[in-house]
Structure 1
């Protein structure tokens, strides 16, 4: 499933948990639904998006409420259809206004009118008066706007438009994820994983909780895989995002008890009491781990009078 979409992998993981809870094989699941064995192989393997009717049928068989699974299915459906992609806002080119040169009005020179002196007496000089002539004032002209100032304001307007569109798109995506992912609004919501989904708890807050409900069961690490002397399979699994571990067994017998413990912490255990659990995975609640290497002990006891088969390991 390395090439599968992360949303498909998350949905497929939850569907496998539901199938294990319902204690149904692929053949039985195909017989109780309207979909073939090959289709269920693709749905549970994360290589194809199942229709909602198929997911709802599996929820009914496993007595699982549909809202949480519906949210995961809608995330996968949005990724498949491309509706979850954020489109960039179109950039509108800003044209610069043409700069009109303002021509200065020509200044018309005004010639002074000659003054003729009148003679009153031939023996006395005649005083001449010079009349000043005012020149018309030149019309005021405004300097043309500078070209680089207009370009600067155009660039600022374009940058502001792009930033505003990007902030709006990010806000819409964040709001959509909060609506579609109920676990993100809970107080126990942890950090997002690289695949784009949230886990429901971290470390000590996970102790005693169900791996499938908290999404810690998605893409875990297998720390231990053994076959016990009685023929039962036993695994210890760990999710680094949750910093929590749990143990699971299969091919068990009635009365078997599985226990996972850590020094200084209450042990988490589960017993096989129903025939429906014999051919399905039976897992303990989560055990929250401290930071750093943590020693763990997983034990499977068949009856109260026989010694338990125990395995020791270290979680990093």
Structure 2
């Protein structure tokens, strides 16, 4: 079982009762502090502070402890809320007391109660000031007062209850506060303006405007292409259009022809900068070819295997009208496509 330290005498009674209740619950559960920390997610050091009265646990820690040891969360949170209000009142009283002490000491240091003795190496505060300091330090529910001249003594409440940093009241009051706010705001504006000038200006001193992204990808680089597109331009030559993501919604029919009962197309993908031939309603053994036109131009051939459809691999073209497709059926019929802009009657079909 944990060996508890004595709770600080300066604790508020409500906070003391809550800390003792937490200790009883932990003892009843049979858990050590390390096990409590592991099950609640709060560190062992934090729980040592909570259970020794040095720090009030947050509500989340209290709820986690109740769940870990199987006690009623609502009842324990009710006790925590009472302790939290008492803790806040203790902090407020401590802050008011310390501020009164600082004001009295500041007045004494400024000689408000009379000039310091000329012969003394270090003048002690007048008796009236010492009495005032002692009174304000001892006003918190009769707790031990710190000696007026004891610079090395710490306020006894600080050992039990962590308090916020001392509030310093600077001379000048609201007027000085407003002045500091204005100076800070102007300084912030200068910093923002400098950042804009340093980071956003071009060589001519004007603010640089980002260049619009190119619509079409550069040859051989799919970095600017839509998701799923894996090639562009010459990098697509000899590649399968479906595998490289150039087909589907990324492709259009640039030319077509009816060869016998088969339908022949030139499929063109702008994002890939490539074209290929496709045939549907065909028979196994039918062949098709895509070319860019002219002797020695790029071309790809294909053959229909099983099924009634087939397509060639791709060739790189700069525009859809640069590509044409031809098909030779096993029945002996031949035909080539014409651009989509031409009349369908112009399709070259051979018997």
TM tier relative to shorter chain: 0.3 to 0.5
Q: Which has the higher contact order (CA 8 A, sep 6+)?
A: 1
- Report the structure number with the largest CA radius of gyration: 2
Taking structure 2 as the reference length, what is the TM-score of the superposition? Answer: 0.36
Taking structure 1 as the reference length, what is the TM-score of the superposition? Answer: 0.39
Tell me which protein shows more helix as a share of its residues.
2
